A and B are shown apart, each in its own frame.
Chain A
Amino acid sequence: GAVVSQHPSRVICKSGTSVKIECRSLDFQATTMFWYRQFPKQSLMLMATSNEGSKATYEQGVEKDKFLINHASLTLSTLTVTSAHPEDSSFYICSIDTETQYFGPGTRLLVL
């Protein structure tokens, strides 16, 4: 399967700051990447579909101005959580491919 990396693996920030999470496809050119969020003991929730060279598609209820997605190349997508608040604390996971999802290792965000 494809290899996906994420950076950072863990981040702690103060409320009101912005945090950028990177998702890299190491061996596959991904025109589409997906961003998920997972709260403790809950399932994966798709936040948005990141499309290379075009705007991301956000799921219902996800604020596109708060969760900025940039997919500038076939190997990199970034998710920026703007003005983070404690309720944004979660496990953020990216994946590539559409049908068979290959996941990155995830980024655990804690907003104080």
Chain B
Amino acid sequence: QKEVEQNSGPLSVPEGAIASLNCTYSDRGSQSFFWYRQYSGKSPELIMFIYSNGDKEDGRFTAQLNKASQYVSLLIRDSQPSDSATYLCAAWKTSYDKVIFGPGTSLSVIP
């Protein structure tokens, strides 16, 4: 079982729709969770991080964390073609003091 799992996609949504990206993690000791966006040929850039159960909103992005279910999600409202990228979910593993990345989900927003 991979430590951080994501559906590889591709996930296609029409412009203006809500894109929902999901992530599960296996280590209950993980405390912090991150969403990164990576455009093709570029390095990842941080979108959001979340520590506590519940929702965290930042502009068009909402991260959701459910530690009981070991589940993290990212919602992108009013999706734009510029949101087309690979989204990486990551968990900070306290026991190893390093971040574990998921395989990423490819998102395509269709104009």
Residue positions of A touching B, CB distance < 8 A: 1, 34, 42-44, 46, 49, 93, 98-106, 108
Residue on A nearest B101 in the bound complex, by CB: A44
> From residue B48, how far is it (CB to closest CB) to chain A in Å?
10
Across the interface, name the chain A residue whose C-beta is closest to B102.
Answer: A43
Contact of B32 among A34, A49, A93, A99 (CB under 8 A): A99
Please give, as numbers and ranges, the residues of chain B lying within 8 Å of A34 by CB-CB distance: 98-99
Residues of B within 8 A of A (CB): 32, 34, 36, 41-46, 49, 88, 90, 92, 97-99, 101-104
Chain A residue nearest to B92 in the complex (CB): A99
Known: A43-B88, A44-B88. A102 touches B102 (CB 8 A): no
**Could you write out 17 A-B pairs with CB less than 8 Å apart?**
A43-B102, A43-B103, A44-B88, A46-B99, A49-B98, A98-B97, A98-B98, A99-B99, A100-B32, A100-B34, A101-B34, A101-B44, A101-B46, A103-B44, A104-B43, A105-B42, A106-B43
**Residue in A46, A98, A99, A106 whose beta carbon sits within 8 Å of that of B42 in the complex:** A106
Of B41, B44, B45, B98, the contact of A46 (CB 8 Å cutoff): B98
Q: Are A105 and B46 closer than 8 Å at their CB atoms?
A: no
Q: Given the complex, which residues of A lie within 8 Å of B101, measured CB to CB?
A: 43-44, 46
On whether the beta carbons of B99 and A103 are closer than 8 Å, the reply is no
A99 to B46, CA, bound (A): 12
Q: How far is the CA of A43 from the CA of B90 in the complex (A)?
A: 11
Please determine whether A93 and B98 come into contact, CB atoms closer than 8 angstroms: no
A11: min CB distance to chain B, Å: 15
**Besides the known contacts A43-B102, A99-B32, A100-B49, 4 further A-B residue pairs in the complex with CB atoms under 8 A apart:** A43-B88, A46-B98, A98-B92, A98-B98
Per CB-CB distance, the 4 closest pairs between chain A and chain B, nearest first, are A106-B43, A103-B43, A43-B103, A44-B101
A20 and B28 alpha carbons, distance in the complex (Å): 38
Residues of A within 8 A of B88 (CB): 43-44
